[in-house]
A and B are shown apart, each in its own frame.
Chain A
């Protein structure tokens, strides 16, 4: 059975790899909190609740008839540590909220990682040679008495085992009063933005001691607060344009050329609420959890609790496409509110040519929507389906009582198993899907 995919050929998704502990007992620090491919797709970074970043590197096995690729651990480092704000008596979590790769300029790779308060620029570089033949030092580092040196030689570089070093190059701190939810790198390759609940700041990648505040929605009187910023992203090509989404389900597009402070939007994307769907939880489920521009910059996709919507930047009054992710949960909102699942922030992503979008759901299900073919598929990331090259079988959730064979009823869904973070390789049909503490990599059967 074919899955959704780009192009005329149907994509068949196969299991490729799974990373992480097999244990059912999940350590909180191992919970994956962000997943991101770099611009070439060669590197895949994950961040977790323990403040660690793990980077996988793609290795293509050319010996196989079909080019299979594997992602193996490339580097692991502790990006953020727990901190304590003494003034407010608050602990600052080390959880990595977002990772964003910088476009590659030289041999080294750079990424930005952020927790609730501090953004760090990390340099990941390889070292595969080392100098040997010092005159004044032994190989083990002991110093040689200069008086015993009778001849001089020029040290030479000799190959060594590959070592990947991660070093923090910049720390951008103390600019956010509220919790940082997004970072986005500008297409000018010089600046980036960071967004918290009420403000968005613009940084220069080289300058750490100051940033420009470009959006501030904090009301003069906090009692008048009605919405917060939930996500922000720069346009992929227009360095003056960015969007930010709100908890009220609106998206604002801002042009930095218009004014220094972009409190006034250039465009407001807002869909009128359907009054027939009004409930106690209408505000919660309309809160946007993620916003992503398409690669071509023409569209943007937003994710709220129950749906994925695609907006055309040229049309502000309604989205051009709406996809229901798990509409069967609409009647369960009360229970989901009780167990806090209604506050889960699902992310979404585009494939390389913007023809398919993907997002996660519960029970370790994830959904793909083929925009061109108007088809969608539900797949599952589980150990049961993890034989090498095993094709993923589409899943179906039964909303009413008449459950067919192989269908799963809504009441059987495991709401502790949620897929919040997914990423799609920028060129190929390779996807990374994060369950609670495992990272699954699936590939197209014919890659």
Chain B
């Protein structure tokens, strides 16, 4: 039955609903329906585009405000070491105290902007210090990303997604591929050739302040994301097995988990071709349709499992 009040067309809730449908389709009698899942993936893509646009617009607005504030703070900063300690403190607050790593890119997208701008304003040349607040175990990854990477993630007017690609910063070489295997229920991430631990639950803690420990629950759906930078010679990225990507119970897909999932999806969805010109503008297209199609089809490829 239709509710008397039309349900709020909220991008986040649509994403949640869509993911639930994809999950439920796995247990439906008769096998996974390719057609229906393809249509659901379109809704997911549309909702994610809207969500990311809104999110980055918000981040940009906040960052504009914060930049003014940090100009004043810059004057007071003297010792880089002091700042590194500050960063780690912030890390302790927001990235979880259990030492679980999270990728710089994931945290980057949805960390409070103030942290990021503080990092940026420090102009720290040692990326390790820069990345200390964000990751403990993926130092090698962060070392290879320039400080400008963060700026490009958050400072650009266009809502680019995470660190996976930036069409503005041509120096960016962040190669990130994340795959969730539908059959084995594992998440694999390969970034710059390094195996990466994408800990969704810890990220959840990071962003939502949740206290619950990372659950060792498997993810029930698969997607494939390719790096937008690789578009011209697109080849399937290598997958490495990855253990225990924690993710919240699929029956309780609340908004915090959706935020995590979106950041994990990363470049794949935002690279998708949209018929809407404003979307394309917003996403600052150097997007290849092949990339778009590859990302979109990942759902069906995984789901079909033929």
Contacts and interface: CB of A to CB of B under 8 A. Distances in A.
Interface of A: 85, 88, 90-93, 95, 116, 177-179, 181, 197-198, 219, 221-228, 230, 247, 273, 275, 278-284, 287, 331-332, 334-340, 343, 410-411, 413-416
B2 A226 contact: no
Nearest to A284: B39
A223 B41 CA distance: 12
12 contacts: A179-B33, A179-B34, A181-B35, A197-B34, A223-B224, A223-B293, A225-B300, A283-B42, A338-B17, A343-B36, A411-B4, A415-B1
Contacts of A91: 29-31
B2 to A, nearest CB: 5
Contacts of A219: 293, 297
Chain B's interface: helix, strand, loop or mixed, by majority? helix
Top 3 nearest A-B pairs (CB, nearest first) are A222-B301, A223-B297, A283-B42
Prevailing SS type, chain A contact patch: loop
A230 B36 CA distance: 11
B304 interface: yes
Nearest to B301: A222
Contact of A337 (B43, B236, B298): B43
B275 interface: yes
Contact of B304 (A92, A95, A222, A331): A222
Contacts of A227: 38
A402 B85 CA distance: 66
A90 B25 CA distance: 12
A279 B169 CA distance: 32
Interface string B265-304: 0000000000110000000000000100111111011001
Nearest to B1: A415
B43 A223 contact: no
B300 A222 contact: yes
Interface of B: 1-4, 6-9, 11, 14, 17, 21, 29-31, 33-36, 38-39, 42-43, 46-47, 50, 224, 236, 275-276, 290, 293-298, 300-301, 304-306
Contacts of B304: 178, 222
A179 B30 contact: yes
Contact of B34 (A93, A178, A282, A284): A178
B35 A197 contact: yes
Contact of A224 (B46, B294, B305): B294
A187 B164 CA distance: 55
A334 B39 contact: no
A92 B29 CA distance: 8
A413 B42 contact: no
Contacts of A221: 236, 294, 297, 301
B39 A287 contact: yes
A228 B34 contact: yes
Contact of B293 (A226, A283, A335): A226
B6 A273 contact: no
Contact of A247 (B3, B35, B295): B35
Contacts of B290: 224
A36 to B, nearest CB: 22
Contact of A278 (B31, B36, B275): B275
Contact of A332 (B2, B36, B43): B2
A275 B43 contact: no
A307 B276 CA distance: 23
Among A273, A335, A414: residue with most chain B CB under 10 A: A335
Contacts, number: 126
A177 B304 CA distance: 10
Given A223-B293, A225-B297, A278 B276 contact: yes
A411 B4 CA distance: 6
A126 B1 CA distance: 46
Given A197-B35, A224-B293, A225-B300, A338 B306 contact: no
Given A179-B34, A415-B1, 17 more contacts: A179-B30, A221-B236, A222-B301, A223-B224, A223-B295, A223-B298, A225-B297, A226-B297, A247-B38, A279-B9, A280-B43, A280-B47, A332-B2, A334-B8, A336-B2, A413-B2, A414-B1
Contacts of B35: 179, 181, 197, 228, 230, 247, 287
A416 B1 CA distance: 8
Contacts of B301: 221-223, 225
Nearest to B300: A225
Contacts of A92: 30-31
B26 to A, nearest CB: 11
A411 B300 CA distance: 34
Contacts of A273: 275
A26 to B, nearest CB: 17
A411 B236 CA distance: 48
B31 A90 contact: yes
A222 B295 CA distance: 10
B14 A280 contact: yes
Contacts of A278: 275-276
Contact of B39 (A85, A223, A283, A414): A283
Contacts of B50: 280
Contacts of B29: 91, 93
| Among B14, B39, B293, B295: residue with most chain A CB under 10 A | B39
A331 to B, nearest CB: 6
Contacts of A247: 35, 38-39
B170 to A, nearest CB: 26
Contact of B2 (A95, A179, A197, A411): A411
A287 B41 CA distance: 14
A101 to B, nearest CB: 25
Contacts of B42: 283-284
Contacts of A334: 6-9, 14
A222 B30 contact: no
B6 A332 contact: yes
Given A334-B7, A410-B2, A226 B30 contact: no
